[in-house]
Amino acid sequence: MCDISNTRKFFTIVLVALVRDVRPQINPQQQYNPQQDYNPQVLDPTRQDAKFDNRFDTRFDSNNRFNINEDRPNVNQNFQGDVRELLQALDAQGSQQCTRNVAAQWNFETNVNQGTQLEALTAQQEYSDFQHGVWELLNKVGSLNVPNSVVARQIRYLSIVGPAALSPDQLDRYNRLINDMLAVYNSASICALKEPFRCGLRLQPDLTNIMAYSRNWDELQYTWTEWRRNTGQNIKDTFEQMISLSNEAAKLNNFSDTSDYWSFPFESATLSLDLEDAWEDVKPLYELLHAYVRRRLRDYYGPEKLNRQAPLPAHVLGNMWAQSWVNIFDISQPYPGQHFLDVSPEMLKQGYTSLDVFRLAEDFFVSMNMSAMPLEFWQTSVLEEPVDRVVLCQPSAWDFCNRRDFRIKMCTNINMKDLITAHHEMAHIHYFMLYKNQPKVFRDGANPAFHEAIGEAIGLSVGTPKHLQSLGLVQNSVEDSAVDINFLYSMALDKVVFLPFAYVVDKWRYDVFKGNIGKDQYNCHWWRLSEQYMGIKPPVLRSERDFDPGAKYHIPANIPYLR
């Protein structure tokens, strides 16, 4: 059992910017089961782009794949050709491979069935094969005549292919391990408290709603514990095996371990110090917020449930992982009854449609002297949920890697939340369009957090009373300090609270990847970090039989969170 002091100070961390809507990669072995709450590992198409070019060289066969065999022209340390020609060929081929892969993922997410899933899995495998071919080719090329630092940078980034650097057998095992963990996660369910015959309660929507809206201490504690018993506990051994393969892939990419590989795109030799400095600016606000919430929860549940100095029990914060506390706004708001701005009723009253919401977003960007959306965007995007097929409704922006095809997938509802989300997603599209003429390898955010940082900044601008009033969605000026404080408090429960949580997720994994902690310390270390950084504790006694990190999707999926 973990020895975690309740008096330890818990605020010493850091965070620069974080991505909330991360989409994972598809695993080739994952099978579609329409009877389950499907949550696939899908390629992140928003992070793939390339220059479209029809120039190919003899390194590619008739199926547009690398032909890395004895018939391929000998490329070795004595290679004297212009490396820029090689990069142009890789750029052209990478563009076509990316386009085919993203198209297959799009078809699956906008029409979920066994056929489209198989096509998506096949396309993902082919793209992994292509990446492996690039990696193998550049390794065989050896020392090139590199004309400048830009070319050197392209070669460096093309040489980093992640797990695709593994041998076919190792990659297959790596994917199977992740698939096995996600199968446990996606199929997990529990029975209702004191209702042994009402079973099959899934994370979405059942358990999420219980954690958000129940105010029954025992029900929340039971739900929190059972979810972890049916997820994390069942994947601990598999997770350890996956860590080994993940580190092996990192080494093949010339990194010391996976944490080094995940940190590389931030391009900072002092990343941990940068994060520490950033957190020092936010830390005082989080401490005040934490103290205020503890007092309000203590008033609500009673002093026998919450000690005035102890960390907060993780199960009463409105979220399965305590990563957002916004769902307890109703029992903790500073000014009860002083509701903040919500233009959803006015949008309905004025007859807004999904198309209207996105046209409004387009107008926002045009007003800043940015381009209107291309015609193809409006023809191919999915902006509302179809009635004739199953769609994965997670909002997402897509770049099809050919400099012209950009799309958004979103099951838009007519409310203020989705109005802001529409602007957020369109910010991604504008970013795609602004770097579309760069080589494929440079078509990405400035760092892994930058895309989302732009989207979040746009969303914050759109939600201001002044802007909404200019749109005719607010009829009267809203000038009330109580309303403003409630609104800002609600935002803090979501945005500020998320910062230490996101850091803990990857701080813990970095320690695992580096070998600083072993399997016999996984859970104890998780809760040490959670108390130290977030000021929360588990509601019941935990031990190393448990594996509470595995109750968060990104852990079994092996997806970075610090971005």
Residues labelled catalytic: 425, 554
Sign of the Cα torsion 292, 293, 294, 300 reads positive
Distance between CA atoms of residues 357 and 395, nearest Å: 14
430 is in an annotated binding site: no
**What is the end-to-end Cα distance of the chain in Å, rounded?**
32
Half-sphere exposure of 154 (CA within 13 A, CB side): 23
For residue 84, what are the contacts with CB-CB under 8 A and spacing of at least 6?
147, 151
* Per-position DSSP letters for 477-516, written without gaps between them: ----HHHHHHHHHHHHHHHHHHHHHHHHHHHHHHHHHTTS
CA dihedral over 333, 336, 338, 344, signed as positive or negative: positive
Residue 57 to residue 66: CA distance in whole angstroms: 10
Q: What is the 3-state secondary structure (H, E, C) of 408-470?
A: EECCCCCCHHHHHHHHHHHHHHHHHHHCCCCCHHHCCCCCCCHHHHHHHHHHHHHCCHHHHHH
Per DSSP, helices labelled H in 188-270 are 208-213, 217-230, 236-252, 258-263
Cβ distance 229 to 171 under 8 Å? no
Tell me how far apart the alpha carbons of residues 286 and 534 are, in angstroms, rounded to a whole number: 9
Across 100-131, b (16+ Cβ under 10 Å) vs e yields bbbbbbbbbbbbbeeebbeebbebbbbbbbbb
Task: Give how far the C-alpha of residue 482 lies from the chain's centroid of Cα atoms, to the nearest Å.
Answer: 34
Closest Cα to residue 91, out of 398, 455, 326, 403? 403
With b for 16 or more beta-carbon neighbours within 10 A and e for fewer, the 268-284 pattern comes to eeebeeebeebbeebbe
Measured distance CA(328)–CA(224) in Å, rounded: 16
Q: Please give the structure tokens belonging to residue 555.
A: 């852990």
Task: Name residue 217's amino acid.
Answer: W
Hey, what are 51's tokens? 């220059």
Q: Is 451 annotated as a binding residue?
A: no
Which residues are CB-neighbours of 162 under 8 A, at least 6 positions away?
131, 249, 253, 261
Question: Is residue 315 annotated as involved in ligand binding?
Answer: no
Beta-bridge mates of residue 408: 397
Strand partners, 366: none
Pair of tokens at residue 86: 């090689």
What are the start-end ranges of the E strands in 278-425?
A: 312-313, 396-399, 406-409
- 563 assigned to a ligand binding site: yes
Cα–Cα dist 538/312, whole Å? 9
Annotated binding site for chloride: which residue ranges? 563
Annotated binding site for Zn(2+): which residue ranges? 424, 428, 452
Annotated binding site: which residue ranges? 424, 428, 452, 563
